[in-house]
């Protein structure tokens, strides 16, 4: 864990729970692509950089989930380095309490205000800032989160953030977090059509061909959608739907899983409702979701 692996002529990645990209801009200087989950990750990254004789110029966050931004604040203190992210992601990196608030749908209670859902704030700038390294190509990859981006380095290595999960992760969690299902499926199509000497997803093995992983992740999305449509036959309120999905996929409820899967299911319901496959109605002061008769 936290092993530095060469990916291309000027690219490396640190193999850890959410892979961290390393772009060598000079013999003694690098940019990071994401920063890990907390200050301990930051310390481990600094140990690697020190061993290679590298200083840190800056960090590019692919998106503002805490497991990708958690090392920002500590590393900024050590190096006085810049942090960049795209659009809404830079705002959430500056105000990380927005992540659990979004997931919960209100001010989160104490058990949700921790480092796994809420990183320390960092001084993030938008990627439109003129200090952003122009040789790095950003690829829009929305769906998993608002303005998630991939990063292609000059040697062609493509860092894909959270576009796909590994087969092991899909088997364990079944319902991966998605903010916008339609955009996520479009992103999968985009990734499937890409070519690169090496793709580095954050939560799956690096590989030269993303086809199989994309197909597995796409199938997982449709498996969840099919389950929701079946459960909503006859109409059901959200809390019973959530329990039914947990039971269907053999998941174990925790506070974190309640908000992660719950938020994701609401996104599925919005996608299905926009497509006319489910409808929402108020009955006896309850919001009821029902599968359309023609589905």
The rounded distance, in Å, linking the Cα atoms of 249 and 36 is: 29
**pTM (2 d.p.):** 0.97
Pairing of strands 124-126, 137-140: unpaired
Q: Tell me how far apart the terminal alpha carbons of the chain are, to the nearest angstrom.
A: 46
Percent above pLDDT 70 for the chain: 100
Q: Which two tokens stand for residue 120?
A: 């320390």
Residue 295 has pLDDT above 80, yes or no: no
pLDDT number for residue 294: 82
User: Residue 5 forms beta bridges with which residues?
Assistant: 13
Cβ 68 vs Cβ 62: under 8 Å: yes
Strand order in the sheet with 137-140: 137-140, 149-152, 158-165, 199-203
Could you list the residue range(s) of the whole structural domain that residue 269 is in? 228-291
The residue behind tokens 């029902």 is 290
Q: Are residues 208 and 234 in the same domain?
A: no
For the residues 111-140, what does the mean pLDDT come to? 98
Q: Are residues 149 and 212 in the same domain?
A: yes
Cβ 68 vs Cβ 20: under 8 Å: no
Q: How many domains does the chain have?
A: 2
Q: Are residues 199 and 256 in the same domain?
A: no
The rounded distance, in Å, linking the Cα atoms of 63 and 67 is: 10
Q: Are residues 216 and 234 in the same domain?
A: no
Query: Tell me: the pLDDT tens digits for 211-242?
Result: 999 999 999 999 999 999 999 999 999 999 99
Cβ 53 vs Cβ 22: under 8 Å: no
Residue 207 DSSP code: B
The rounded distance, in Å, linking the Cα atoms of 286 and 289 is: 10
Q: Are residues 211 and 271 in the same domain?
A: no
Q: Are residues 35 and 170 in the same domain?
A: yes
Query: Tell me: the pLDDT tens digits for 98-109?
Result: 999 999 999 999
Q: Are residues 159 and 81 in the same domain?
A: yes
Domain stop point among 161, 187, 221: 221
The rounded distance, in Å, linking the Cα atoms of 277 and 143 is: 20
Q: What is the CA radius of gyration of the chain?
A: 20
Percent above pLDDT 90 for the chain: 99
Q: Which two tokens stand for residue 5?
A: 């692996």
Whole-number average pLDDT of the chain: 98
* CATH number of the domain encompassing residue 266: 1.10.10
Domain stop point among 199, 221, 243: 221
Q: Are residues 45 and 118 in the same domain?
A: yes
Q: Are residues 201 and 246 in the same domain?
A: no
Of the pLDDT bands very low, low, confident and very high (cuts 50, 70, 90), residue 87 is very high
* CATH number of the domain encompassing residue 64: 3.60.15.10
Of the pLDDT bands very low, low, confident and very high (cuts 50, 70, 90), residue 1 is confident
Q: Which two tokens stand for residue 235?
A: 């109409």
Q: Are residues 138 and 7 in the same domain?
A: yes
Query: Tell me: the pLDDT tens digits for 188-215?
Result: 999 999 999 999 999 999 999 999 999 9
Q: Are residues 42 and 96 in the same domain?
A: yes
């Amino acid at each position: 864990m936290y092993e530095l692996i060469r990916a291309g002529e000027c690219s490396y990645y640190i193999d850890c729970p959410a892979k961290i990209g390393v772009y060598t801009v000079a013999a003694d200087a690098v940019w990071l692509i994401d920063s890990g989950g907390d200050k301990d990750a930051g310390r481990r990254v600094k140990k690697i950089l020190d061993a290679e004789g590298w200083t840190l110029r800056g960090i590019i966050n692919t998106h503002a989930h805490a497991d990708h931004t958690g090392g920002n604040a500590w590393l900024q203190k050590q190096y006085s380095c810049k942090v960049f992210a795209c659009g809404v992601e830079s705002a959430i990196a500056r105000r990380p309490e927005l992540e659990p608030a979004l997931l919960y749908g209100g001010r989160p209670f104490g058990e949700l205000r921790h480092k796994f859902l809420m990183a320390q704030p960092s001084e993030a700038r938008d990627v439109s800032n003129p200090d952003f390294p122009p040789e790095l190509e950003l690829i829009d990859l929305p769906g998993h989160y608002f303005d998630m981006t991939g990063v292609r380095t000059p040697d062609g290595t493509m860092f894909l953030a959270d576009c796909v999960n590994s087969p092991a992760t899909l088997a364990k969690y079944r319902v991966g977090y998605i903010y916008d299902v339609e955009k996520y499926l479009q992103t999968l199509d985009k990734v499937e059509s890409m070519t690169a000497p090496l793709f580095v997803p954050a939560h799956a093995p690096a590989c030269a061909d993303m086809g199989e992983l994309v197909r597995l992740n796409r199938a997982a999305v449709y498996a969840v959608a099919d389950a929701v449509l079946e459960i909503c036959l006859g109409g059901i309120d959200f809390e019973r739907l959530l329990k039914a999905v947990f039971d269907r996929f053999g998941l174990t409820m925790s506070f974190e899983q309640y908000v992660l899967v719950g938020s994701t299911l609401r996104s599925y319901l919005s996608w299905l409702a926009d497509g006319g496959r489910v409808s929402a109605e108020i009955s006896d002061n309850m919001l009821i979701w029902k599968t359309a008769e023609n589905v």
